[in-house]
Structure 1
């Protein structure tokens, strides 16, 4: 452990929280690095294969619970929160309109990784100006680290039954980041769980991916299936996916604590113009070049064009019958074998929905048919 004998660590901790606020973070806390209580569940999840094909979650094993293995000398973690709920989120209207694509609200704007990482670097630089050179390293959901347990220890909130972090003052619409340091800063009080008996997130999950309190089976999770998984999505999950083409917010939408959520002031997280019109056919019509251009700087870009089309084809299969949708789907056949599997499923779903005009008969015609079938006089 490094020694900084002239530093007033309580004063430094107070300053860090001020600097973090000035850098755009809504909350900051400090904790030690002991996550040994979480190792048994981590190993259990690995053994059960709950991470699906996210091999990096398995490959690093217990390192995720041992921050000092990421940065030797680490004794504290500065945990930060940045709100991302965009204005005019249009949750209900977007989900209910099956001709529109639903994109998880965290991904409507710019990719948060670079922004938060840069702000954490600046926080490290401010600390360095105060104490001189010291050991530190920023992380933003891109390294093997249990960020939610660390955030709970730092007092930023508690892990809800959906496994996401919750704060009773702001809900769960925020990103997390960490700055690992070798400074013996005073630690904050951990947050206490406030979920009580509520199980709304568990019962509302479209695919029942929350298999027990705080434990999510990624293989059933729509966020995993539409973002992390690039294979053929099992047919049992295609109908529940609905029009969700990138991620899923359902477990957050029903959480009572989210009624306290605040709109972000960070404009980078506002809905980008290219997603203002989320018409399924329009998004499906983008060429790979258009997709890459329109999604530049977005987290969505990393799934690639084929997976983008795969997700959209499922949503189009779940949409009301439309000759426009059928025509668009057929135009993409032969592009990729995995994609073809989803397009063919979507075309079959569309064919099972006859045009409304062919299925509905007005009341007058219905009465006429009944009269003829019964062989009754016309005026009966």
Structure 2
């Protein structure tokens, strides 16, 4: 199968873009990844360290791979998501997670592409959509789909920062596309907008400070220094993506599965905080949000409530002080101290000595220390 035939088939399956690169050539991405992990910038994502050697290069995972067919799907929202951050009684869910899980949508089509390719050529294939030790973004840059911007995400001149990526590795020799060059220039918009200063230098991310990491990957209490900067972001963070000037060329996603469900575009914090496990699963059916579980999600919601300045939400917070999950109770303590300092002191006197979880006890102790010392 000729490279143009592969591309035609892929676009016929609904992929926005498809490019090809060699999978067996040397590249620098592996060493950059090793440095990232070596400096601990991956935080608690132990899987990155565990799979580092396989992740460094496509052939480290599959020695027979010769070509990489990189596919992309546009998920451009068609609106600026940043103004939602001002609606403090609503939660902000990252654009990519407001409907169907892109892994499911893309992998089904990528498998279709792989089957057709294997049947036509007799070559071996393997497909990946962000679920295996393969670095899709460097491959996409190498294939000419875009370049990794200063925020470390892929930027496309045609689609801005709104692309989902997938890869088909194959033993076939396919004609590669030319690599893309960096077009960020002197722009620092993505770096300067970051609420937690998660970029120590351009092109480098400290995941431990990233709100996407903190709200999705991080388990347990969120460090206090990051709670206020989180604002009302309850799942992920789009700031560095949304501010990219190249988004002016991005079209609205054609795939309806990536159009935001109305109930997930600015959901009320009060309603989210009241969800039990079954209700959480129902609301987020088929959404990637469901993967973090109800307790971690409500932890994020309560931080947003604490940042809302909305006293109407105090009864909701008081209810969550009774929650069975310690990560929820702990953030309810923090939210109450933000919304009703005097009430938090009273609750600390009534509840602090009966709390069994060490992290929640620490939150109550912090309330006492901060609010009773003036």
TM-score under structure 2 normalisation?
0.88
Change (3 A) 1:115 1:238: same
Aligned to 2:34: 43
Task: Tell me how far apart the structure 2 counterparts of residues 72 and 314 of structure 1 sit (CA, whole Å).
Answer: 46
Change (3 A) 1:262 1:338: same
Aligned to 1:336: 325
Task: Tell me how far apart the structure 2 counterparts of residues 45 and 55 of structure 1 sit (CA, whole Å).
Answer: 13
Residue 115 of structure 1, CA deviation = 1.2
Residue 352 of structure 1, CA deviation = 5.0
How many aligned positions are there? 341
Instruction: Summarize the alignment of residues 144-293 of structure 1 with structure 2, pairs less than 5 Å apart.
Output: 144-276=133-265, 278-293=267-282
1:28-47 deviation line (CA, Å, top 9, x unaligned): 11111235312222111111
* SS of corresponding position for 2:200: strand
Q: Decide which moves more: 307-316 or 251-260.
A: 251-260
Task: Tell me how far apart the structure 2 counterparts of residues 45 and 143 of structure 1 sit (CA, whole Å).
Answer: 18
1:56-80 deviation line (CA, Å, top 9, x unaligned): 1111113112212323411110001
TM-score under structure 1 normalisation?
0.87
1:309-353 deviation line (CA, Å, top 9, x unaligned): 100000000002323x11011111132222222111110110259
- Give yes or no for contact 1:200–1:255 (8 Å, CA) kept in 2: yes
Structure 1 unaligned segments of length 5 or more: list them.
Answer: 1-8, 355-380
Structure 2 unaligned segments of length 5 or more: list them.
Answer: 344-374
The answer to whether the aligner puts 1:326 opposite 2:317 as a matched pair is no
Task: Tell me how far apart the structure 1 counterparts of residues 27 and 194 of structure 2 sit (CA, whole Å).
Answer: 30
The structure that has the greater radius of gyration is 1
Residue 167 of structure 1, CA deviation = 0.8
The answer to whether the aligner puts 1:64 opposite 2:52 as a matched pair is no
Task: Tell me how far apart the structure 2 counterparts of residues 266 and 85 of structure 1 sit (CA, whole Å).
Answer: 10
1:334-380 deviation line (CA, Å, top 9, x unaligned): 322222221111101102599xxxxxxxxxxxxxxxxxxxxxxxxxx
Aligned to 2:83: 93
* SS of corresponding position for 2:116: helix
Task: Tell me how far apart the structure 1 counterparts of residues 309 and 299 of structure 2 sit (CA, whole Å).
Answer: 18
Q: Decide which moves more: 33-42 or 207-216.
A: 33-42
* SS of corresponding position for 1:348: helix
Residue 273 of structure 1, CA deviation = 4.2
Aligned to 1:115: 105
Task: Tell me how far apart the structure 1 counterparts of residues 136 and 164 of structure 2 sit (CA, whole Å).
Answer: 10
Task: Tell me how far apart the structure 2 counterparts of residues 103 and 178 of structure 1 sit (CA, whole Å).
Answer: 26
- Give yes or no for contact 1:42–1:62 (8 Å, CA) kept in 2: no
Task: Tell me how far apart the structure 2 counterparts of residues 187 and 204 of structure 1 sit (CA, whole Å).
Answer: 36
Task: Tell me how far apart the structure 2 counterparts of residues 261 and 193 of structure 1 sit (CA, whole Å).
Answer: 18
* SS of corresponding position for 1:100: coil
* SS of corresponding position for 1:36: coil
Q: Give me the CA root mean square deviation.
A: 1.6
- Work out which of the residue numbers 8, 13, 17 in structure 1 matches 2:3: 13
* SS of corresponding position for 1:185: coil
Residue 19 of structure 1, CA deviation = 0.7
Task: Tell me how far apart the structure 1 counterparts of residues 196 and 300 of structure 2 sit (CA, whole Å).
Answer: 16
Change (3 A) 1:274 1:254: closer
